[in-house]
Amino acid sequence: MKSYTLFILCIFFTATTFAQKKIISRLLSNEIDTTRKSSFIPIPVLGYSQESGFEFGVGTLYSTYMDRSDSLNRSSNFSALGSVSTKKQYNFTLRSDIYTAANKYHLIGEFKIKRTPFNYYGIGNDTKESQENKVLENQFKILLEGEKSLLKNTYTGVSVGFEHYKFTDRTPGGIFSAEPSLAGKDGGHVLFVGLSQSLDTRNSNNYPTKGFFGRVTYQYAPNVFTKSDFSISQIKVKVSNFFPLANRLVLGVNGIFHTVQGENTPFYLLPQMGNDEMMRGYYRGRYRDENLLTAQTELRYRFTNRFGVVAFAGAGRVYQNGDFNFKGLKPNYGAGARYFYDPAKGLSIRLDYGVGKKEPFEKRQSGFYISLAEAF
């Protein structure tokens, strides 16, 4: 019986080892699958912060083609993220980015429910680390956008979105409660309706090596809830251009402008500088105001179909209406690595480390990011 058991265990471990080698070989293979089949990748979410405790969960991305027979049909991507923490924080997010057959329609969707702490530093481009105020945020968000290609390489569309926020001050006596003019301290809700126009000549929507992308969106939030609510308009402009410099070497440039105009605008709707896609290295929300302007450039080298590296640098700032100056621009720079889990579609797992400005009497701002897909 012992010999039989040992024999079974040997077969099991041999099969397991063989399967592991086969999976590793496939994950590291430099070959590109030309069958245009769907792909799926899960990524564990692990982290720790004093506010949320230990965070754990999983993120996934599923990518497919709505028309596999059309070599020009862009990939449609669906992502999901779910995480919880030991201090009862949670985040659940679904996103979709769909191109129908012949790329005739472009459909974007986002659904998010989260309860998470964040640090509030005040409004403006010169907030101080010493002003840090811990706040707990509860958020519900849904966004639906639909665009149609009316002319070659262009998309015209409409959007509708709803967001609800609730905040709890976790630093009694801090600046969050001490600012009497700060709108939206208790939270609130907003309904957006909007229009969009884009021009897209990129050769890929995941990992472009040449071409231009530009998109302008206008959204209006009417006063539809209570007399104490607000009416605001926001405009977002995003442009990107990609230049092939040599074999496997690409230069990408990207610019973003975001403005919110209206009276009594809640602080949580003001543009915020810093995240895993722009101004990497800055804590999201460290700087926020009525306007945001950023620009960045990224040098990308894909030395095999599976692996690549990048170096990036940029500058940006937030500012009040009529108060822009170049002196207030804040720099950032950094580098990162890429693993392309689907080389044919250009889908990657992204690891970046960004560094920002060192303010007087503060440590230099920086951040490490693990994300799916390119920054822009």
Q: What is the pLDDT of residues 122-136, one digit of tens each?
A: 999 999 999 999 999
What pLDDT is recorded for position 3?
Answer: 43
What is the β-pairing status of strands 154-169 and 187-200?
A: antiparallel
Share of residues in the chain with pLDDT > 90 (%): 81
| Mean pLDDT across 287-307 | 97
pLDDT tops 70 at residue 278: yes
| Mean pLDDT across 257-283 | 95
User: Which pLDDT tens digit goes with each residue over 153-162?
Assistant: 999 999 999 9
Region for 48 from its dihedrals, namely left if φ exceeds 0, alpha if ψ lies in -120 to 50, beta otherwise:
beta
Domain ranges for the chain, please list them.
39-372
| Mean pLDDT across 8-34 | 62
Q: Are 298 and 246 a contacting pair, CB within 8 Å? A: no
Q: Which tokens sit at 57? A: 């969960």
Residue 88's pLDDT band (boundaries 50, 70, 90)?
confident
**Euclidean distance between CA atoms 231 and 233, whole angstroms:** 7
| Mean pLDDT across 310-339 | 96
| Mean pLDDT across 129-147 | 97
CATH architecture, range 39-372: Beta Barrel (2.40)
Residue 9's pLDDT band (boundaries 50, 70, 90)?
very low
The C-alpha torsion from 72 through 73 and 74 to 76, rounded to 10°, is: -160
DSSP H/E element including 17: helix 2-28
What pLDDT is recorded for position 263?
Answer: 83
Residue 207's pLDDT band (boundaries 50, 70, 90)?
very high
**Euclidean distance between CA atoms 313 and 33, whole angstroms:** 33
**Euclidean distance between CA atoms 97 and 12, whole angstroms:** 41
The model carries a pTM of 0.89
Share of residues in the chain with pLDDT > 70 (%): 90
pLDDT tops 60 at residue 13: no
What pLDDT is recorded for position 2?
Answer: 43
The C-alpha torsion from 16 through 80 and 53 to 280, rounded to 10°, is: 110
Residue 1's pLDDT band (boundaries 50, 70, 90)?
very low
3-state helix, strand, coil in the chain (%, to 5): 10, 55, 35
What pLDDT is recorded for position 70?
Answer: 95
pLDDT tops 60 at residue 365: yes
- CB-based burial label for 97 (10 Å; 0-12, 13-18, 19+): buried
**Euclidean distance between CA atoms 298 and 139, whole angstroms:** 32
**Euclidean distance between CA atoms 98 and 93, whole angstroms:** 17
Beta bridge partners of 350: 338, 371
More confident residue, 22 or 287: 287
**Residue-wise DSSP of 202-217:** -S-SSS-SSEEEEEEE
The length of the chain is 376
What pLDDT is recorded for position 10?
Answer: 52
